[in-house]
Structure 1
Amino acid sequence: MKRISQREIANLLGVNVSTVSRALRGLEGVSQELRQKILSLAKEQGYRPNPFAVSLRYDTTRTIGIVVPDVSFNHYAQIVKRIEAEARKVGYMCIITDSDDKYENEKNCIDLLVNMHVEGIIICLAQETTDFSHIQHLRRIHMPVVLFDRDADIDISSVVINDVESAREVTCRLIDGGAKRIAFLGGPNRLKQTADRKHGYLEALRERGIPIRKELVKCDFLSFSSGFSNTTELLDMHDRPDAIVASHGLLTLSSMKAIEARGMNVPNDISVVGYMSDWISEVLTPRVSFVKQNQKEIAVKAFKLLHDQMDGDTCVQHVIVKARLELRDSTR
């Protein structure tokens, strides 16, 4: 059923729209008898004020925008849920958009949010994005903006985990367990997150005197199919790897499936460590050792940076949230 408007209430009672507006807002200038008629009719007809019209009138929407590569992916879903909880505490609503990991979609999502007069935007960059001018434009128009999970070498506040350090720790742990031929599965090299995690992996190999073999490094578009095919290629090698560092949840799952399809045993034939949620590790067989990312802290810090900007803070801050390695059954 169509909601009744102030104009329709005014027409039904034969009064001006401004009179109805004043009565509904409790302002003076309306007789008590007429005010009661207006309030009674509004209640009877289920009148509710249009929050967007009200917010535009006072130049504040009390909304923020969120852009994620895939809202169905558990990691992003958990962070978005936490951001919403933080926003709700201070009276803000969230408008969530999904870029599907595509550059053009990301730009469209941001344009949509700006046109909807959100007061700030929190973004996880699409893996296709290499041109950041649309992000930098937000600062030029004084739109508060924070990047999370995936950042870039640009002058925009961000919240990420200790990507280099965590990948280095994972690789060192595999070496300590006896691994000599450690493969790395990553997203596209243009992603700073991939570059940083690969840097940590390579740093550990150099420190421990393990030869770096380019054929053991597979960086490709982040997807289940690419992870599966790249793992299959690694397993086809004559001198195949004895361990895999999977730098994303999809790559962890796909590598495990590819290993299972070959009838190989984890960890006896090959060890696997991934970046993923703890509950996903627990439902896999064997349970996968993983880098635990503090999704709540990422969300809380990202919203705080955004809220501070909305309050006038112009400082660019890059926050690093410490992740930790959780050992389960997939490593020796």
Structure 2
Amino acid sequence: MVGKTIKTMEDFSEFVGLSRPTVSKYFSDPMSVRQKTREAIEQALKKSGFRPNIFAVNLNRRRSNILGVIIPNSTDPFYMALTRRIEMIANETGFLAFVLSSDGKAEMEDRAIKTLKSMNVAGAIIAPLGVESHHATLDELGRSVPLIYVDSPLDDTSSFVGTNNRQSFNLIVDYLCRSGEPPCYFGMPHVNTNALTRQTAYLEAMEQFRVVPEIVELTDSKSWDFERFGFEEATRILTSGQGFPTRDRALRQLIASPS
């Protein structure tokens, strides 16, 4: 095959002089073939410059090394930091993190989930849209691969990694009540379960400390651009002359969590 461009696994198998199953076995796990065979394949790779299609390789594996990640906003600082960390850990453990954004749209989330299924991913980490998520599609994915939700759970049965809102708000309210005025609550767009659970946690904490809760009235929104929402709502309130009733809890927009 001298002078011929090697494009497929079949071409490479012929070039290296080994069977297609043996070459596939090497790409699935290099340590699964004999050392002599491994060395021959690695030398042939250097000589030919061949690089297999990683997605095609994974489709043929019983167990893929692709980890699917779906986030609602790829430009949000929190999600950017989250995906960087996931990619780092995945790389260290022999996985490839494949990140997709739903862009806050249910149809995009549904398409991303179907894409992950078609790629035969080993597992998935998803920050769900929540309110607008297609639950049936997510449930179907969860039955086929390990699935973890981050930032907010889909429902009470979800495997979930995120903030303990009740504990967080209890500590925040305690600190602010002891250091000055009781805080008011500047909420978030009602896009997932965090909107309700955080407001409930605030109300419970205020009741515990026997102070009157103050919830800032905000414009109804389904936006996932939390920083813009926080800025525009705060600007609207301040420029209207209304102001905030007490020390504000709006720092949630930048500090506590994106959602």
How high is the TM-score relative to the length of structure 2? 0.74
**Residue among 100, 105, 120 paired with 1:102:** 105
In structure 2, the residue matched to 1:58 is: 61
**What CA distance in whole angstroms lies between the structure 2 residues aligned with 1:10 and 1:86?**
32
1:224-246 CA-partner distances (Å, limit 9, x unpaired): 33222322343335573231112
1:72 aligns with 2:108: no
Letter in 1 for 2:20: S
- Give the deviation of 1:67 after TM superposition: 0.5
Structure having the higher Rg: 1
In structure 2, the residue matched to 1:203 is: 204
Please give the residue correspondences for 1:48-197 in structure 2 after superposition, counting only pairs within 5 Å. 48-126=51-129, 129-140=132-143, 142-180=144-182, 182-189=183-190, 191-197=192-198
Letter in 1 for 2:128: L
Alpha-carbon RMSD: 3.4
The DSSP-based 3-state class of the residue aligned with 1:275 is coil
Assess if the C-alpha contact under 8 Å between 1:205 and 1:212 holds in 2: yes
Structure 1 portions without partners, runs of 5+: 28-35, 253-273, 278-332
The percentage of counterpart residues that share the same residue type is 23
Q: Check 1:183–1:92 CA distance in 2 against 1; reply closer, same or farther (3 A cut).
A: same
How high is the TM-score relative to the length of structure 1? 0.60
**What CA distance in whole angstroms lies between the structure 2 residues aligned with 1:41 and 1:49?**
13
Please give the residue correspondences for 1:218-229 in structure 2 after superposition, counting only pairs within 5 Å. 218=218, 220=221, 221-223=223-225, 224-229=227-232
**What CA distance in whole angstroms lies between the structure 2 residues aligned with 1:148 and 1:192?**
12
Assess if the C-alpha contact under 8 Å between 1:101 and 1:127 holds in 2: no
Letter in 1 for 2:256: Y
Assess if the C-alpha contact under 8 Å between 1:119 and 1:144 holds in 2: yes
**Residue among 239, 242, 245 paired with 2:246:** 242
Q: Check 1:154–1:64 CA distance in 2 against 1; reply closer, same or farther (3 A cut).
A: same
- Give the deviation of 1:210 after TM superposition: 2.6
**Residue among 231, 234, 255 paired with 2:234:** 231
Assess if the C-alpha contact under 8 Å between 1:24 and 1:39 holds in 2: no
Give the number of the structure whose residues are more often strand, by fraction: 1
The DSSP-based 3-state class of the residue aligned with 2:117 is helix
Assess if the C-alpha contact under 8 Å between 2:128 and 2:152 holds in 1: yes
**What CA distance in whole angstroms lies between the structure 1 residues aligned with 2:243 and 2:22?**
81
Q: Check 1:5–1:241 CA distance in 2 against 1; reply closer, same or farther (3 A cut).
A: same
In structure 2, the residue matched to 1:258 is: none
1:60-110 CA-partner distances (Å, limit 9, x unpaired): 221110011123322222222222233233321111111112222111111
**What CA distance in whole angstroms lies between the structure 2 residues aligned with 1:242 and 1:150?**
28
- Give the deviation of 1:120 after TM superposition: 0.9
**What CA distance in whole angstroms lies between the structure 1 residues aligned with 2:186 and 2:103?**
21
- Give the deviation of 1:165 after TM superposition: 1.7
Assess if the C-alpha contact under 8 Å between 1:147 and 1:157 holds in 2: yes
